[in-house]
A and B are shown apart, each in its own frame.
Chain A
Amino acid sequence: MRGSVFTERFVAAADIAAALFLAAITVLTFAEVFMRYVVGQGIPAAFDIGRLLLCVALFWGLAGCCQRGEHIQVDVVWEMLPPVWRKVMDLFAVTMTAIFMVGLSWMTFERVQSTRDSGQVTFDLDIPLWPFYALAWLGALAGTLMLLSRYAQILRRADPES
């Protein structure tokens, strides 16, 4: 029980953190256009910072998706099955998602390392890319760990989606 409360709080915190990244991207985009047309000068590196924050936000958004099982799925067969088979099907789907997320987390971590080692930076202001990628990787890792709580959710319920 304590574990599930912790998970809920963690996911809520992750959601809010990711949401704030989205807010930052929106404000940056708005400010960039406003500055360009009103002040006559854009914000330096707004393009690069915006797209890197987007990457972080989307990866953290994946964590929430994994925990709540909010992915786009085809339910035609599932809806015809009795609860016990629905549960089996859901466990299988979560296992497949976990395999994908483990691969994604692992290879994104490799990307973080290679980006850091090669010293890649943004075009305008020479901001290193790897800290953004590392934040995104943490989102993928959180998503992978969240799938454990998804397993627990499915096993606890008689009919997982009822």
Chain B
Amino acid sequence: MNNAAVEAANLCKAFGQKQVLQDVSFGVSPGDVIGVLGKNGAGKTTLLEIMLGFTAPTAGAIRVFGHESRKLPGDIKARVGFVPQQDELLDQLTVADQLRVIASFYSHWDFELIDRLCGEWGVNVNARIKGMSVGERQKLSILLAFGHKPELLILDEPVASLDPIARRQFLEQLLTISADGQRSIVFSSHIVSDIERLANRIWILKDGRLDWQGDLDSLKESIVRLHIRGSGAELPRLEIPGVLNVRRDGAFATAVVRDWTAEAQESLEKSASVQIEVETLGLEEVFVELHR
């Protein structure tokens, strides 16, 4: 894929003895909205910061729009937007001044869009940043990454402090940005329902590895909970392919499996003479089951 926004191969990152990322490879194509999920300390922030060259991988290669991410030239950086986990606002300025400061670094800042969003999101441009609440700071931080209409937008837990209404407004704006199918968004969040709405692809980071990456749809189709009912009083020993965990209870059992297919179901039903009911799982449950 030549027009990929990001291409990464075999990334590793260690801080001293601590291995944070191990052998992570991925690609981000135009139009992708990627939700990054992982427990605290799974390496989400490290991964996102490596993508923009803030820190170097210990091993492996990563390119953004075809350029090594540690050495991005200015015209590439102008196509990239970033919302850090902890905002980097200038406390002594007003919102309007902060916006002007950042806008001055770009040749194509969309003042109209930002003005409109300030109004819609209820950001008072005359307020001094020092006195703003965490949620307001987060909104401003997001606006600062929107103004130059980046083709690649990377957001590190952008909505943790936003109320549900503000979050929905933010999601709608991200959708508008991604609607033309040319822009890519990568965002990490613990709010799984947001990722379920917005993302078409999911990365699940577990212990520094990409435990799952792919379509959200295929994830939901692939990881399911089986309710198994045997014919006798006691369920026979079962060989379930791709099983993550099983709970047995007499003639019944529930099992969560990955890479589930209709064929697998058929063969299991025949070989063990059991009846299987398939329950699909929401993303939150999938995430929890993968970490059991």
A, B assembled together? no
